Structure 1
Amino acid sequence: MTGTRWEWQDNGSSSGRMQRVASTGTYHRIQTAYRAYIDHATTCDDCGHGDKRCAEADQLWRAYRTART
């Protein structure tokens, strides 16, 4: 995933660890694309509430997958 960085996470009383964190812009772009897909899939009669996908849902899913890369 582009737009990521590693940050030190302090675990309190135990030793910390490094964790990969998405930048704010990357996170927002991914969440916006996913929300568009979910909003469509739950209201579209052709999508069957997630059992299948219409052409628009396919396009929204591809946009989400692209945002993640």
Structure 2
Amino acid sequence: GWPHPGADKAEAGAFDSAAPDAHEPLPNFCLLLLEPETVDLLELRGEPQNRSLYGRDGEGNWFVRLVNP
């Protein structure tokens, strides 16, 4: 496992972990298939921040609208 959270920063090698088996998922693995209808993206970097609203039209194509943050 990884080093204890909140402890002093460990060497980079302490964060290495073995790759999982490519053919057998982990016992607590769950696959989620999402089909978002809208996405609200707020980019905090920048002054002012940028906000974009993504959505789907009647044919399922994505569109974007730039809005005030």
Q: TM-score range by the shorter chain?
A: under 0.3
RCO higher in structure (CA 8 A, sep ≥6): 1
Higher strand proportion, which one?
2
Higher helix proportion, which one?
1
- Which has the larger Rg? 2
TM-score, with length taken from structure 2: 0.23
TM-score, with length taken from structure 1: 0.23
